[in-house]
Amino acid sequence: MYPLVQDSRLGTLEFHKIYEEYDGPKLFSAVNALGIYYLVYWIDELEDGDTWLYVPMSYNRLEKLESASRSLRDAFIYPEENSIFRIFTSFDGEEETLTHLTAEELTEEELPPIDYRIECELVPEQEVVSSITNHEIHISKPSRRGIMKLDSISKILEGWSSLYDEFVRTINISDRLVPVDARPGSFIVRLESNHYEKVSPVIDDFFGVLTSSEDIHTTLLSMKIDVDVVKEFLSLVVDSSYDFKLTPLIDGSFPHQLSKSAAERILTELKTSELTYLSSLRVPQADDLKRVFDVVIAKSNFQEVNEFTLGITSRQVAYYLHAARTLGYLDRSNQPTSAGMQFGKLDENQRLKSAAMRFQSSDCGWTWISWASGKTLADIPNGSAFEFLQDCVPTLNVSTARRRSKTLNSWLKLFKPITE
């Protein structure tokens, strides 16, 4: 997970110095384009993301902290402007929740230990992210006619980056791709990463599955690879009509090629075989449906939604925003869609009916219905969410599946009478 948040309220941030690094930077300073410095402290790893504290400060104040003349705790207890940001960043990159705080609102658990100071020996940022060029992507047209489109090339590279992130997740390391350069020859871009030699066997296995597995879908699940990410990458290759080739630049590795026609065949096979498979990212985890409605109504009236307006934690706020997106009332930027704007004008009964219909046609709702061999939510057995998640969302562990099943069962209890 890349820890440097990009939010308009903070400005465009770049690393300044990294003081502690363990599976990625955990204590560092950053600076924006206006020369405003931020000290960033990692609080904790949650089930689906990390929480951080960002505190703005002058360069002189930062120098004193770097010299260990003041404790790290002082930076947050006595901020220069009494302005602190608590930020949640999800592992999947979909969520970034920023909460504006004062020093008085910080809890003891969020603060650095007493007398904890920045070590004098700094870890330069360039050393942390330094890496070597270790593979290149070659994107080409099957026919030499026509001009390659930059938009299509960019989308394929983004798809490969997402797929690489998925490979990294399966082996529990932190790594990311960085472009080095590009050169003519259809389109060739060289990429670097810190741990490609660890990810390379997963990549080899992945392409081996695509070319030789009798059941690609089941094999990908056994590898703990999210099939939705694979489908998105294949769709980008198909839509572009280009061929994709990966050439490793390390010893002992072999190139992998994926033509448009092969991508199309594999994509069709995956869609056919995944009738009851669901990505964990599509499963809501907001128990209180009324609060989901409150979020949508507030957003439709362009009101602020945060832990203070809802009276819950920032992590829970992220869950309720996700639920509103699942129902199609908010877009990826958490802004109201047309359905969300309409929702704010409905009465209570109309809102419940609207939500029931939208959940029924959502990826999660329809997969649950298909799992139950039904046609509507009315055909789903009461209390069956845990068994459904175990069968259809294999990336969830047992404890997480039990927690999320409570949400689904509570939603079904309210929605089912409407569809009967």
Model pLDDT, residue 283: 94
- Look up tokens 């820890």; give the residue: 3
- Split at pLDDT 50, 70, 90, the class of 22 is low
Confidence check: pLDDT of 128 > 70: no
Q: Find out whether 244 and 258 touch, Cβ atoms under 8 Å.
A: yes
What span, in angstroms and rounded, lies between the C-alpha atoms of 103 and 83?
7
Eight-state DSSP code of residue 337 = -
Three state DSSP letters for 347-404: CHHHHHHHHHHHHHCCHHHHHHHHHCCCCCHHHCCCCCHHHHHHHHCCCCCHHHHHHH
Confidence check: pLDDT of 369 > 90: yes
- Other CB atoms within 10 Å distance of the CB of residue 180: 14
| Nearest Cα to Cα of residue 276 among 197, 373, 131 | 373
Confidence check: pLDDT of 188 > 60: yes
What span, in angstroms and rounded, lies between the C-alpha atoms of 231 and 260?
13
Model pLDDT, residue 39: 94
Average pLDDT over residues 104-124: 75
Average pLDDT, the chain: 86
Least confident of 7-16, 81-90, 229-238, 332-341: 7-16
Average pLDDT over residues 146-159: 83
Between 106 and 218, name the one with better pLDDT.
106
Both tokens of 409, joined, read: 């069962």
Model pLDDT, residue 123: 42
Spatial neighbors of 400 by CB under 8 A, at least 6 apart, are: 47, 280
How do 37-45 and 49-57 pair as beta strands?
antiparallel
Say what percent of the chain tops pLDDT 90. Answer: 46
Average pLDDT over residues 5-22: 80
What span, in angstroms and rounded, lies between the C-alpha atoms of 258 and 375?
37
- Split at pLDDT 50, 70, 90, the class of 84 is very high
Average pLDDT over residues 323-346: 94
| Nearest Cα to Cα of residue 138 among 240, 257, 249, 267 | 257
Model pLDDT, residue 276: 65
Between 339 and 114, name the one with better pLDDT.
339
- Other CB atoms within 10 Å distance of the CB of residue 383: 12
Confidence check: pLDDT of 184 > 70: no
Average pLDDT over residues 87-94: 78
Summarize pLDDT for 223-244 with one digit per residue, the tens.
888 888 999 999 999 999 899 9
What residues form DSSP beta bridges with 88? 51, 97
Q: Find out whether 339 and 329 touch, Cβ atoms under 8 Å.
A: yes
Confidence check: pLDDT of 67 > 70: yes
Both tokens of 295, joined, read: 């979020």
- Split at pLDDT 50, 70, 90, the class of 93 is low
Summarize pLDDT for 279-295 with one digit per residue, the tens.
788 899 999 999 999 99
Confidence check: pLDDT of 191 > 70: yes
C-alpha distances in Å from residue 50, one per residue of 5, 191, 286? 12, 26, 19
| Nearest Cα to Cα of residue 224 among 396, 33, 58, 377 | 396
Summarize pLDDT for 379-402 with one digit per residue, the tens.
999 999 999 999 888 778 899 999
Model pLDDT, residue 1: 47
Given 3.90.550, 3.30.70, 3.30.160, 3.30.1050, which CATH number is that of 131-273? 3.30.70
pTM: 0.49
Domain ranges of the chain: 13-127, 131-273, 280-419
Summarize pLDDT for 326-337 with one digit per residue, the tens.
999 999 889 999
What residues form DSSP beta bridges with 14? 31
- Split at pLDDT 50, 70, 90, the class of 36 is confident
Average pLDDT over residues 203-213: 94
Q: Find out whether 270 and 217 touch, Cβ atoms under 8 Å.
A: yes
Model pLDDT, residue 337: 96
Confidence check: pLDDT of 275 > 80: no
Model pLDDT, residue 9: 84
